[in-house]
Chain A
């Protein structure tokens, strides 16, 4: 008979800590893996879809048991991610960095205008996309982003990063994207036509005026407030136009440098004294009609 004392049982605290460690380990592995699998499946469905379908039936269609299990697993992990704010989306400059960049700016205009049209020349460039050219000189006030260097060939930056992140939420990709041709057509891929690009840009500006209305309006109000504090004698502008100044980064095989800035209108806000935020209607720029249209 053994006289050895029985091992001390684990205390609840030890068990709970152990469960946390195991759960966190599973969370790390699964959320990263599932995130990648779902992203890959939706992004590369055309290239890899047939193989995925053979390996995991109906997975490429985002249906079937495998997809359903992934979604069921993802739900509690998403809740844990949000409760502990440990987002597992690790993709710095991936899968590709941007080949163009840009900064938002505001144009403060005294001219009351209901047509939504401006005296701008509309241009299209195969590499840049759609942009506008304003006539010079003008009495309008232009507020550039604090992040935009006065000279992109001569600057050093320290700080100002957090506002740049905020400004990034309003960024629009103006250059032409690659789209798939109809099955059987050669080549399989081509660049967007000017009309397709105009439609995509219009959808994006509309989204900024609707889905992201609060954040874009907050940014415009914040910049306007700072300007009015610095210029207390100036009257409230009739129109505040949010635009983007885009720069194209030269390709690696081109001489080093940038093209730009190219001005792209995004939104218009017509401030009225005493108007509640909930009643503000933003006008998004329509690249087909070349004018601002109200978004309700």
Chain B
């Protein structure tokens, strides 16, 4: 293999304790196409689901005075629950605390990194691990917190000096961070000072301070001002709600194409959680699977192959990624089927074989009338028992090669069967997405290379 064709492993290699660290299943990199296909499959399913099933009814499902009126789901956002949504507004309690927690953690991360390197510069310092993402998160969380303070101030109609003091403290911390970086550069010239990133952050926080001061001096807050809806729940304003929906669709499209992949997947995840949280009565297990898949994609280099980002970077050799997202997903898959089997084994209808008769006969769930496809009782019983047996034995079947292929094939047929006979929305497509990283998509690349 030439130097150009050397395999390249993309992404952070996680530190894993024993026994995971010594287990090749958890540590041996896998072709990047596996994660890429999960990203593409999920993106396609989401585009169809959101564009056809949710976006046309955005105001009906999430708008004020409609099915998802903020008052209907207010219970989800009050203590002791920790649900959150960007669309509930800046001043929602849980969002205030989440932004504060993110701010403190990223402050520790940024200062910890700089200080550790500064103090240990001549004594085996830790590896450079400063991340641009941390600074963006730091500024983003502080901005959210400040907007929350402003929203509360506008709602109460009382000026609050914290509105400009907090961003001023942020700007001060930014200067301290810059000073640490300059010191570090003074002691070791190879250390680069991130002038642009820190400079932008500083001027942004100064701008927030100026705005905050101006808001405090205003004293009288015109509730009809054009910018006021921005500081209330976005559900109360149709234009803002539709903007958020548009942003969600755009982020899914970017994720599908693999363009600015990390940012696109993070945005898709945040908006998915936000929309699902403000009307939790619309979703089912399929939507939960979607959120779980997005969580893993968000933290992994899913744009390493078959993406605009990969095309831009022009990596010459085969691309590999660390296998942890696929392994966690596989464990999740095992638990989904096994737990389903366990709960079913406690019921009488699954044991006596009549369960699928009632499932298919449920006129609220069925895709078509059971009268069109009357199955003999023995067929119903065999189908019911086979589903129960497959779910209960799934964790064992996947241990060996051939039984694993059978179990996965049965699973695909099971979900296709559900999709054909039941109207459970996007449950079957999202569940089938879990199977995508298990297929050897990299062979397509090899085949096309050979053909070329």
Contacts and interface: CB of A to CB of B under 8 A. Distances in A.
Interface in B337-356: 339-340, 342-344, 346-350, 353-355
A162 B15 contact: no
6 contacts: A11-B129, A86-B295, A91-B340, A91-B344, A151-B369, A214-B74
Interface stretch (B162-170, B200-208, B226-234, B281-289): B281-289
A230 interface: no
A87 B335 CA distance: 12
- How many interface residues does chain A have, given as a range? 35 or more
Interface stretch (B60-68, B245-253, B256-264, B399-407): B60-68
A217 to B, nearest CB: 8
Nearest to A93: B359
A214 B339 contact: no
A44 B343 CA distance: 12
Nearest to B125: A9
Q: Which of A14, A43, A97, A249 lies at the interface centre, i.e. has the most chain B CB atoms within 10 A of its CB?
A: A97
A269 interface: no
Nearest to B282: A162
B65 A221 contact: yes
Contacts of B189: none
A18 B20 CA distance: 10
A201 to B, nearest CB: 19
Given A9-B126, A165-B283, A214-B69, 12 more contacts: A10-B15, A11-B129, A14-B13, A25-B20, A35-B339, A85-B288, A90-B339, A97-B358, A97-B362, A98-B362, A153-B371, A162-B282
Interface of B: 12-17, 20, 52-54, 57, 60-61, 65-69, 71-72, 74, 81-84, 98, 109, 112-113, 126-127, 129, 131, 273, 276-277, 279, 281-285, 288, 291-292, 295, 299, 324, 328, 331-332, 335-336, 339-340, 342-344, 346-350, 353-355, 357-359, 361-371, 374, 377, 380, 423-425
A84 B20 contact: no
Contacts of A85: 83, 273, 276-277, 288, 291
A93 B361 CA distance: 13
A14 B15 contact: yes
Interface string A140-173: 0000000111011111111111111110110000
A11 B127 contact: yes
Given A90-B340, A214-B72, A218-B72, A256 B374 contact: yes
B361 A250 contact: yes
A215 B357 CA distance: 31
B84 A12 contact: no
A23 to B, nearest CB: 11
A94 B359 CA distance: 11
A110 B129 CA distance: 71
Interface string A210-222: 0000110011011
Contacts of B343: 36, 39, 90-91, 94-95
A92 interface: yes
Contacts of B374: 256
Contacts, number: 222
A146 to B, nearest CB: 12
Nearest to A211: B75
Contact of A40 (B84, B288, B346, B366): B346
A261 B131 CA distance: 62
Nearest to A92: B340
Closest 7 CB pairs of A and B: A95-B347, A94-B343, A18-B15, A161-B425, A96-B347, A91-B343, A17-B14
Interface stretch (A50-58, A60-68, A99-107): A99-107
A32 interface: yes
A215 B15 CA distance: 46
A102 B364 CA distance: 7
A243 interface: no
A28 B331 contact: yes
Contacts of A38: none
B350 A156 contact: no
B16 A18 contact: yes
A20 B66 CA distance: 38
Contacts of A111: none
Contact of B364 (A103, A151, A162): A103
A164 B424 CA distance: 10
A93 B348 CA distance: 12
Given A12-B129, A222-B60, A92 B285 contact: yes
Nearest to A257: B371
